Amino acid sequence: MSTLLSGLGARVRRPDGRASGAALGLVLAAVVGVGAAGYVWYQKEQGQRRQDTVTACLAASTPASQAIFSYDYRNFDTGVANARAYLTGGFLDDYTKTTAGLKATAVQAQAVVQAQVSAIGVVDASATGAEVLVYLNQYRRNANITGEKVDQNRVVLTMVRTGDTCRVSAATAI
């Protein structure tokens, strides 16, 4: 024990050669201090990573929403390819299947759907992703309706951090 303490700079010894309680107290205080400083640093680092993720996910949510929820029968495949760039995981597969089934109907009806985001907000966030509430208006027209119709939708996008940006891993209509 005295070897350990002398290595840590504790040189106070009692007459019988053992380290004093004061030296032990100093070592213990130093260990607790280093642990507390490490904890504070970790919490600050996690907070900064969370904030960076929120910023990236909010920045990506508007263009992602507009790409995912818009289509034009005249360039349907191009629109789908553009939207796929904003997706990841199982949602990418789901989106691919859904749009493959939608294409024939969109072409037949000469459907054009233009999504516009009116507001966004964070529902929940971590250092690796965020849930973003999107207020989305879809302006649609097709050969079966007169004029343009507006659908007001609310969608929660589950977004995950991928490098400097975020991608959509799920979308839930509310």
Separation CA 68–CA 173 (nearest Å): 13
Tens of pLDDT along 10-27? 455 556 656 567 777 778
Say whether 1 sits in a helix, a strand or coil: coil
Tens of pLDDT along 101-159? 999 999 999 999 999 999 999 999 999 999 999 999 999 999 999 999 999 999 999 99
What backbone torsions phi and psi does residue 151 show, to the nearest 5 degrees?
Answer: -110, 125
Does residue 90 belong to any structural domain of this protein?
A: yes
Amino acid at 123: V
Does residue 35 belong to any structural domain of this protein?
A: no
What's the pLDDT score for residue 74? 97
The residues that bridge with 137 in the sheet, in sequence order, are: 116, 152
Is the per-residue pLDDT at 9 higher than 60? no
Structure tokens of 54? Answer: 């929120």
Which domain CATH number covers 116?
3.10.450.230
Does residue 27 belong to any structural domain of this protein?
A: no
Structure tokens of 160? Answer: 């995950």
CA atoms 67, 69, 72, 75: torsion sign: positive
Give residue 5's pLDDT band: very low, low, confident or very high (50, 70, 90): very low
Amino acid at 125: A
Burial of 153 (0-12, 13-18, 19+ CB in 10 A): middle
Does residue 85 belong to any structural domain of this protein?
A: yes
Does residue 60 belong to any structural domain of this protein?
A: yes
Q: Which domain holds residue 141?
A: 40-173
* DSSP 8-state secondary structure symbol assigned to residue 112: E
Does residue 19 belong to any structural domain of this protein?
A: no
Average pLDDT along the chain:
88
* Total count of domains within the chain: 1
Contact between residue 117 and residue 97 where contact means Cβ atoms under 8 Å apart: no
Is the per-residue pLDDT at 7 higher than 80? no
Does residue 46 belong to any structural domain of this protein?
A: yes
Q: Model's pTM, two decimal places?
A: 0.73
